[in-house]
Amino acid sequence: MLTVHNPMGYPPKINRKQPAPRLDTLDGKTVYLVDTRFDDGVELLKQVQAWFQRKMPGVKTKLVQMASYYGKDDPKLWAEIREQGHAAIIGVGHCSTCAPATSTHAITLETQYGVPTVAIHTDKFVKVVQSVTRMGGLPQAPLVFVPQPVMGKSEAELRAYVEGNDPYTSKPVMQEIVDGLTKGLAAAKDEPYERNTPRLCEPDTEDKLRALFERNLWTDFLPIVLPTEERVQAMLAGTSRKPDEVVGRMQPTENRGLWEYTVEKVAVNAVMAGARPEYFPVILALAATGLSARGSTSSSASVMSVVNGPIRNEIGMNCGIGAMGPYNHANAAIGRAYSLLSQNLQGGSVPGESFMGSIGNNYVYNGITFAENEERSPWEPLHVQKGFKAEDSTVTVFHGCRSTTFGLGLRKEYWREHVKDMLLGTDALTPPVLVLDPLTARQFIARGGFDTKAKLIRWLHETAEMPAARYWDLQLIQNYVYTRATFGESPKAKYLNVPHDAPVRIFEEEDINVVVTGGEANGYWQMYGARHKATVSIDEWR
């Protein structure tokens, strides 16, 4: 019989909220239809508006758009709805981030502005938004579902959605919407999570404990090291921090509720990943970022973690041949520990509920974890660029890794054009991280005279261009850049009214990064679409 630690974090405290009073009738009332500005959601709301005009002409509807992208609060609009309207219908939630945001806005309208509100989502996100409303303190918030997808559907198809049945409840969609605004809501049930997570699991045999961990989805379904009390205690010896010290809080995506975790909880997951105590400060630093390596995004993103400074050599990390492969214990175990702690300490990573990556991402197993080859790089290391001293030990987290291109060296004649092609092959929303073998880094100096990373990054910024019409037509740009640009919240605002063929510089200079790693077996190099999220000290966690 073994006694092992429970690897889960501590759930957030839920503060119950009160919904707005419902209306006796919609007749003679003004109902706002609020477009959260994601992937043709407005087209579905137009069909909802048309239904009211046909079926309930006594209801006045006003179709409006949020001022920015869906993830940003819009108090000015909420105040207008409270003062000039009587109810709201908001939507459409049909991605892993816009669905939580849509229901969060609905809760805000209900509880802070006193406006009865119904949120519309597609049926792929039933569990996601049910979780959001529970965590938001309003589990009885009205939710109505239509089929997935909304994007790209014709008027006739969207009209059929509106006139049809909710695929989750089998009730007529519009009946649910009207009822959600006019009928009293059920009382809230008890809090869905205990505030405290058990420290230990019930003693059992090794085989049964392994089955328990798999059944509870506490693993990545690769073999784990069971976190016995002795093993966790040995891992804790890798830091001077106290076991009950809070390291941070994490959630799979915005609006899902931040789970809290301690040094001991991080140690449990480090043991499960097969890490050694000397790796523990790196793992704690990653946990302290609060950035999840198991984000829920439907775009199937991953993280990339780059270690710099003396600790690379102290714990034997690989920055030479095979640095990004499975050939080094420290690289592999640290990356896997980050993935497992993200899964468990944020409250889970369950497909269809807290993980919505449409096709998934194999990088998620260990999050692409490696060390920079500072000794063979011709430039200053990454952490020095981010404001640290060369003698500091740090870890940098990038997020994205959905697009990857690669090349072999730089040709004499057309290397500039080849690199531009690679830049245009990176998704336009996510800036590039160039991961260069030292051979290629020196070739960039020989070919382009880029004797500093800054010069190379400036050239990449100037080279990555496409015509404005083509740029603004990209779906990701429409979703996440255009909405901000129209309100002056993006540096891309200066390209809004330029001629269609005017060049747009796709990536901001400060967002482009260059990392050197590899063993000079050849001049192959890669370009990842990945955004810098944090560079943090490892030394603070020793």
What are the tens digits of pLDDT across the range 112-149?
999 999 999 999 999 999 999 998 999 999 999 999 99
pLDDT reading at 193 higher than 70:
no
Token digits of residue 339 = 């993935």
| Percent of the chain surpassing pLDDT 90 | 86
Q: What is the DSSP letter of 216?
A: T
d(Cα 437, Cα 71) in Å, to the nearest integer?
38
Q: What's the mean pLDDT in 488-511?
A: 95
List the beta bridge partners of residue 514.
Answer: 434
CB 272 within 8 A of CB 219: yes
Token digits of residue 240 = 């001077």
pLDDT, one tens digit per residue, over 315-367 is 999 999 999 988 999 999 999 999 999 999 999 988 888 888 889 888 888 89
pLDDT reading at 76 higher than 80:
yes
pLDDT reading at 188 higher than 80:
no
**Distances in Å between the alpha carbon of 457 and those of 273, 454, 467?**
36, 5, 21
| Percent of the chain surpassing pLDDT 70 | 99
pLDDT, one tens digit per residue, over 19-61 is 999 999 999 999 999 999 988 999 999 999 999 999 999 999 9
Residue with tokens 């709201």: 88
Token digits of residue 312 = 């690379």
Q: Which residues contact 211 (CB under 8 A, 6 or more apart)?
A: none
Q: What is the mean pLDDT of the chain?
A: 95
Q: What's the mean pLDDT in 425-438?
A: 95
* Domains of the chain and CATH, by start: 30-182 (3.40.50.10350), 206-464+506-541 (no CATH)
Q: What's the mean pLDDT in 245-254?
A: 94
Q: What is the DSSP letter of 250?
A: E
pLDDT reading at 192 higher than 70:
no
- Give the model's pLDDT for residue 195: 60
For residue 191, what pLDDT band results from cuts at 50, 70 and 90?
A: low
For residue 395, what pLDDT band results from cuts at 50, 70 and 90?
A: very high
- Give the model's pLDDT for residue 184: 83
Q: What is the DSSP letter of 279?
A: G
Q: Which residues contact 316 (CB under 8 A, 6 or more apart)?
A: 328, 329, 330
pLDDT reading at 435 higher than 70:
yes
d(Cα 406, Cα 398) in Å, to the nearest integer?
18
Number of other residues whose CB lies within 10 A of the CB of residue 49: 18
Q: What's the mean pLDDT in 364-380?
A: 95
Q: Which amino acid is at 11?
A: P
pLDDT reading at 194 higher than 80:
no
Minimum mean pLDDT among 32-36, 249-253, 537-541: which range?
249-253
